[in-house]
Amino acid sequence: MTKEEIKDLVALFNEANISKIKIKEKDGFEIELERDMCCDTPAPVNAPAPQPINVNVVNEAKPTSNHSHPTLNSPMVGTYYQAPSPGATPFVKAGSKVKKGDTMGIIEAMKIMNEIQAEYDCRVIEVLVADGQPVEFDMPLYVVEKI
């Protein structure tokens, strides 16, 4: 088999909907072509070209008022949860008094639940983040008043 015949055979194999071909000639020359067909499905001829989509990202965090009070901020990127489980009572709400080390919420990051603890004794003035909302590093979570 010549080089050109082999090139033609490879081109034919690529176009055909077959996964394996083996050719043996009388002079002892042998060639075998094989491919995995599980993922080689060609795109339909009349398939529309993919269209770009517009995505609007909405941050549901309430804008922080110009409080003269400090905020407790997120120590990481993740998803904020206000209770230990769905439907459970929230750890804190506006008006709650917490002591240093008390759990105020949970941030899930990479399937790990991280408790957010009070940095000092305080009273929660406002919870700035909705349950299940994504949060970013250093994003304000609570407006507090030190006690």
Specify whether 30 is located in the same domain as 75.
no
Q: Domain range spanning residue 17?
A: 3-34
**Count of residues in the chain:** 147
pLDDT tens for the 147 residues of the chain, in order: 777 888 887 888 777 777 888 888 888 878 888 877 665 555 556 666 666 655 444 544 454 455 588 999 999 999 999 999 888 999 999 999 999 999 999 999 988 899 999 999 999 999 999 999 999 999 999 999 998
- On whether residue 44 sits in a domain, the answer given is no
Segment (H or E) for 8: helix 3-15
Specify whether 28 is located in the same domain as 77.
no
Specify whether 26 is located in the same domain as 84.
no
Q: How many domains does the chain have?
A: 2
Could you tell me which of 112, 101, 108 has the C-alpha nearest to residue 132? 108
Residue 34, SS3 per DSSP: strand
Residue 61's pLDDT is: 47
- On whether residue 106 sits in a domain, the answer given is yes
